[in-house]
Chain A
Amino acid sequence: NAGVTQTPKFRILKIGQSMTLQCTQDMNHNYMYWYRQDPGMGLKLIYYSVGAGITDKGEVPNGYNVSRSTTEDFPLRLELAAPSQTSVYFCASRDAAGNTIYFGEGSWLTVV
């Protein structure tokens, strides 16, 4: 059972570089989310999507972009990486009933 799959798991970026974190789910969920978790802290919502072609900002969207061209995929793009974006990024999806939110394994990103 794949569930929510994130890649890469680990990445080191230099300041000013760009990259895309990939997220795919095989549960046909419409709702998908990107969170970041700074060391010792809770999760902050970056962006979310309620279906293909529909995205919206969360609590901390600055410095990030998303797209949702298919139900399965919800990539997160970092433009001009900054040290403040060093964090663990979690992708998640939920079913229509909202009874469970499924999380990916996380992507550890360091910007140096």
Chain B
Amino acid sequence: ELKVEQNPLFLSMQEGKNYTIYCNYSTTSDRLYWYRQDPGKSLESLFVLLSNGAVKQEGRLMASLDTKARLSTLHITAAVHDLSATYFCAVDLNSGTYKYIFGTGTRLKVLA
């Protein structure tokens, strides 16, 4: 059974600080997604990582994928209040079934 775990589950950080969210998964996959969800809203696509070593950056967020370690990271640089949200990773089961399993989510609060 595929398990996708994120840590931390909750993160409170000061504006201007850096931090990393981790996404570990339990089976082989070469495709991983990161999403952002604001309270009461739907999910917004941030990144899709398609191969080992993939790195993508958008503004203060940078995501990377290590398929050998079954690990993806979402790095936040110089956090600002607007980044406060819940962040999810999702893994393609890589079995030809096109099933996507979501992580537990990381609730980020950036304090002014």
Contacts and interface: CB of A to CB of B under 8 A. Distances in A.
Contacts of B100: 33, 45, 101
Residues of A in contact with B, size category: 20 to 34
Chain B interface bracket (under 10, 10 to 19, 20 to 34, 35 or more) = 20 to 34
Contacts of A41: 104-105
A90 interface: yes
B42 A45 contact: no
Contacts of A33: 100
Contact of A42 (B31, B88, B99): B88
A94 B50 CA distance: 15
A17 B50 CA distance: 43
A90 B42 contact: yes
A35 B99 contact: no
Contacts of A104: 42
A59 B42 contact: no
B101 A94 contact: no
A100 B45 contact: yes
A37 to B, nearest CB: 9
Interface string A83-112: 000000010001000111111111000000
Interface of A: 31, 33, 35, 40-45, 48, 50, 56, 58-59, 90, 94, 98-106
21 contacts: A41-B104, A42-B102, A42-B105, A43-B43, A43-B102, A45-B99, A45-B101, A59-B101, A90-B43, A98-B31, A98-B48, A98-B92, A98-B98, A99-B48, A99-B50, A100-B45, A101-B33, A101-B45, A103-B42, A103-B43, A104-B42
